[in-house]
Chain A
Amino acid sequence: MTSFILLLPTHRPCAMAIPLFSGKVAAGFPSPADDYVEKNLDLNELLVQKPAATFFVRAQGESMLGAGIHPNDILVVDRSIEAVPGKIVICALNGELTVKRLGRDNEQWQLKAENPDYPDIVIHEELDMVIWGVVTNVIHAL
């Protein structure tokens, strides 16, 4: 990070504040565009519904390539959304955070990768699995 240092005079010039009687003078022609100013587009508005529950995380690995999640992408995660089958979720699997698609086949919960090289994970009793949040968007730099 570049730093700047503010250099200060050791002695300020002898100054004394004297109140100035002033009034604003309107000058110039008002811009005709003033009436059309609305606002700037804000990406937060598009990507973040619940600010308190929204977290950004960074993807690693290629297990979700099929879902358009590449290594180093930023995922927008909303913790307040209910994790239902079909959603891409972040979960803590045996203490490690992982991103997978939540699935349910024949009464069996699964964490599915979207890459044939990665096996699906069947959720069973001994597995320590907690849903952390639901992925709503991927931010991918080209």
Chain B
Amino acid sequence: MQTLIALVDCNNFYVSCERVFRPDLIGKPVAVLSNNDGCVVARSKEVKELGIKMGVPLFQIQQLVNQHQIKLFSSNYTLYADMSSRVMLTLEAFAPKMEVYSIDEAFLDLTGVCHQDTLAYGHLIRKTVIRATGIPVCVGIGPTKTLAKLANFAAKKWCKTGGVLDLSDPVRREKLMRIVSVGEVWGIGSRTTLKFKQLGIHSVWDLATQSSQRIKSQFNIVVAKTVMELNGTACFQLEEISANKQQIVCSRSFSRRLTEYTELFEALAEFCSRAAEKLRTQHSVTSCISIFIRTSPFNIQEPQYQRSATIKLDVATQDTRTLIAAANRLLKEIFKVGYGYQKCGVQFSQISSESESTQCELFDFFDNDLPTENRPLMAVVDQINRRFPKAISIAATGFEQSWKSKSERMSPRYTTDWRELVRVK
């Protein structure tokens, strides 16, 4: 049976989330800013039409913001995560197999699900999601993931599609591929695109008509598989079970420059706590922790400094205290006075399942400066914090947290806090 894959992708997801609870902003220019209100991370159609690019720093567009009264929001990840899970829950009903690809997109396996009218099925998905959640989505359909992605791109770009496009038909496929740039193909980065252009491969069609053998020798197996997928041969499977994260990163920019060791350590301790929580949620342990600190790369007048450091732990852990102690040791190695630090972060790698990591061997060497793993203690801390958010924290994270990022334009947490519900007259 011919496989049939749909990619459902939310339109301007963060902006759409804000608009569900602020219908007055529908049709008005809206942008969402990154942590610390630094850069634009989501734009409404109206903002895109003003020529504002993804990732531009706020100060560069301040004039446009004033002139067009662009409504700005700080990122409200609590809200976006809740709305995302609502979208995914709604989508689950449409296919026996689904892969949540990111916060705002999912692949559905429609093989054998809608034999007759795939387009009508796509429209049904679209209508159901917007009705249930208020989030508009586009649906791209094709025999492979790469073609579903391409179909979604086209469904978003051309309103004539009504937000749904099926690329099962090879004739229609060719027509589209001839007018879309190769850089829009799923998984093809800017560097590969550049290399393609030198070889005279400009459109998606140019790439699809290459021999996959030749592409394999000149590029790599993944690009060769992409060529096959563009021709309707499925090479990338749906990954249903979200693999546990192999890396957990927690980093942030500060609202002001940090100069003191203790300030940086407080921030790192807080990030360790957050990341360790994530680690425990996915029942994993880490045996490798890295930290980085840096000054602002945007301000060239200031003295620049940037360092990272990594420590391999003897015993894999998920204990916040061990991880904070390790981060402290690393910070001692790389911290230098005389700089205004603008950002820092922690990263856990070498992540494995907590059940795999057995208790210590009888005569294992212990690092005497690090607290020993105490899983029951951490489980209790997590339990309490789930009921009373942030009730318990490790003292090292500090009381004031004056480094906390600015998020002055944060919308209420409409769906996760009883005190912040939307009001209706």
Contacts and interface: CB of A to CB of B under 8 A. Distances in A.
Contacts of A1: 388-391
Interface stretch (B232-240, B253-261, B365-373): B365-373
Interface in B376-425: 381, 388-395, 399, 414-415, 418, 421-425
A50 B93 CA distance: 12
A49 B169 CA distance: 39
A119 to B, nearest CB: 14
Given A52-B132, A53-B90, A6 B392 contact: yes
Q: Which of B362, B389, B421 has the most C-beta atoms of chain A within 10 angstroms of its own C-beta? A: B421
Contacts of B359: 17, 19
B90 A57 contact: no
Contact of A63 (B24, B131, B364, B425): B425
Contacts, number: 109
B68 interface: no
B394 A97 contact: no
A52 B421 contact: no
A92 B359 CA distance: 58
B425 A98 contact: yes
A79 B133 contact: yes
B424 A5 contact: no
A1 B389 CA distance: 9
B23 A96 contact: yes
B133 A53 contact: yes
A8 B397 CA distance: 13
Interface in A12-41: 12, 14-19
B337 to A, nearest CB: 24
A56 interface: yes
A6 B395 contact: yes
A8 B425 CA distance: 50
A18 B372 contact: no
A58 B414 CA distance: 10
Interface in A36-92: 50-53, 55-61, 63, 74-75, 79-80, 90, 92
User: Which of the four size classes fits the interface of chain B?
Assistant: 35 or more
A58 B421 contact: yes
B120 interface: no
A16 B399 CA distance: 33
A7 interface: yes
B96 to A, nearest CB: 18
B89 interface: yes
B104 to A, nearest CB: 15
Contacts of B391: 1-4
B423 A12 contact: no
B424 A3 contact: no
A3 B134 CA distance: 36
Contact of B133 (A52, A90, A92): A52
Given A52-B89, A55-B415, A75 B395 contact: no
B355 to A, nearest CB: 16
Given A58-B423, A75-B424, A99-B424, A12 B89 contact: no
Interface in A79-131: 79-80, 90, 92, 94-99, 130
Contacts of A15: 366, 372
B132 A5 contact: no
Interface in B280-297: none
9 contacts: A6-B394, A52-B86, A55-B415, A56-B415, A56-B421, A59-B424, A92-B24, A97-B423, A132-B134
Interface of B: 21, 23-26, 85-87, 89-90, 128, 131-134, 321, 359-360, 362, 364, 366, 368, 371-372, 381, 388-395, 399, 414-415, 418, 421-425
